Amino acid sequence: MPHSDLTSQTEARNHASAATRSTWVSVLVNIILASAQIVLGLFAHSQALIADGIHSLSDLVADGVVLFAGHHSKKDADEDHPYGHQRFETAASLIIGLILLAVGIGMLWAAFNKLEEPETIQKVHIIALWVAGTALIAKELLFRYMLSVAKRVKSSMLIANAWHARSDAASSLVVSLGIMGNLLGYPILDPIAALLVGFMISKMGWRFSWDALHDLMDRAADDDEVQAIKQTLLSTPGVLGVHDLRTRKMGDMIVMDAHIEVAAQMTVEAGHDIAVEARKRVLQRHRVLNLMTHIDPSKRPDLDHQPVLKVSKNHH
Read off φ and ψ for residue 80, nearest 5 degrees. Answer: -80, -25
How many whole angstroms separate alpha carbon 143 and alpha carbon 151? 12
* CATH code of the domain made up of 223-303: 3.30.70.1350
In this prediction, residue 69 carries a pLDDT of 63
Same fold: 3-216 with 223-303: no
- Show Cβ contacts of residue 304 under 8 Å, excluding neighbours closer than 6 positions: 263, 264, 265
The pTM assigned to this predicted structure is 0.58
In this prediction, residue 222 carries a pLDDT of 80
First CA to last CA distance, the chain? 7
**Right CATH number for 3-216 from 3.40.630.30, 1.20.1510.10, 1.10.8.50, 3.90.550.10?**
1.20.1510.10
In this prediction, residue 284 carries a pLDDT of 87
In this prediction, residue 102 carries a pLDDT of 84
Q: Where are the domains of the chain?
A: 3-216, 223-303
How many whole angstroms separate alpha carbon 64 and alpha carbon 60? 6
- The tens place of each residue's pLDDT in the chain, 316 residues long, gives 455 454 555 555 666 677 678 778 888 888 898 899 889 888 888 878 887 887 777 777 767 766 666 665 566 666 666 565 566 777 777 887 888 788 788 878 877 877 777 766 777 888 888 998 898 899 889 888 888 888 877 776 677 778 777 777 877 888 888 888 888 888 888 788 878 878 877 887 888 788 888 777 777 778 888 889 999 999 999 898 888 888 887 766 788 899 988 988 888 888 899 999 999 999 888 888 788 888 888 866 555 444 444 444 444 4
How many whole angstroms separate alpha carbon 44 and alpha carbon 86? 45
In this prediction, residue 316 carries a pLDDT of 40
| Longest Cα separation, the chain | 90
How many whole angstroms separate alpha carbon 313 and alpha carbon 203? 53
- In 3D, which of 198, 177, 199, 67 has the Cα closest to residue 129? 177
In this prediction, residue 81 carries a pLDDT of 60
In this prediction, residue 2 carries a pLDDT of 53
In this prediction, residue 251 carries a pLDDT of 67
In this prediction, residue 309 carries a pLDDT of 45
In this prediction, residue 177 carries a pLDDT of 86
Give the side-chain half-sphere CA count within 13 A for 114.
22
In this prediction, residue 290 carries a pLDDT of 83
